[in-house]
Amino acid sequence: MSNSSVTADWEFAQSLISGDEEAFVEFENQCRPYLIAVLRKRGASETEADDIVADVVSDCVSRPERPLLSGFEGRCSLRGWLSTIATRRWIDRRRKDKFRAEVTISNGEVDASMDSFTSPTIRQPDTVLIDLLRDAIDGGFDACPAESLLHLRLVYLHGFSQRNLAQVWGCHESKISRSVNAAMACIRKTVLDDISRRDPNIHLSWEDFVDLCAHGDLSIL
């Protein structure tokens, strides 16, 4: 996204915070359906998407002390930023619902396995999402063959060209290219498989995963 577009998004957010009615109508007409579509694509039910987006939209402008939009710094697109927040809230809700489902009740009494139960520490949605993404990417790196992962790191983190690496390894450049591509494919597959295993109802594409990392300011890649 261009700097001018990001600046325009930040100015739009400021107009919403200041109570500009025309800006709010535009926000309702454009952002609400977009956010609902994003959550539905990522696996949320229609009811979940409607409820979460309604809360996000309300928090953007209705909080008297610190509206949600006051945290938007204009470093990415407003839509991307809001879709990350909505996804965080949805994943957090799914985690809480899953936890409640694990609390079994029989004959009106809590199952004996709950005798020593203590309430878990309540984590913020940001932490829930960061943990999910971090664990997935760690698993992706661990699943890569060591040499392919080394090639990937040298190319993307340290700026070596594939030609340089071919000279160091004494092989054809195409072999390094295949190795790097194989590492990337392995990471993508492992990450998405891990997220699906943790919750089959969460449907993230690789582009969704990268979006969540980028818009959430998560320094894990």
- pLDDT by residue (tens digit) across 14-61? 999 888 999 999 999 989 999 999 999 999 999 999 999 999 999 987
Domain boundary among 67, 101, 135: 101
Q: What is the CA radius of gyration of the chain?
A: 22
Indicate the number of domains in the chain: 2
Does residue 115 fall inside a structural domain? no
pLDDT at 31: 92
Does residue 76 fall inside a structural domain? yes
Question: What are 198-207's contacts with CB under 8 Å, separation 24+?
Answer: 198/132, 199/91, 199/94, 199/98, 201/43, 201/94, 202/42, 202/43, 202/91, 202/94, 203/41, 203/42, 203/43, 204/42, 204/43
Residue 188's pLDDT band, with cuts at 50, 70 and 90, is very high
Does residue 71 fall inside a structural domain? yes
Domain of 58? 3-101
Please enumerate in sequence order all residues whose Cβ is within 8 A of that of 187, keeping only pairs 6 or more positions apart, or say none.
137, 140, 141, 143, 144
Kindly tell me if the per-residue pLDDT of 129 is higher than 70. yes
Tokens of 38: 């994003």
The pTM of the full predicted model, rounded to 2 decimals, is 0.71
Does residue 55 fall inside a structural domain? yes
Tokens of 42: 């990522």
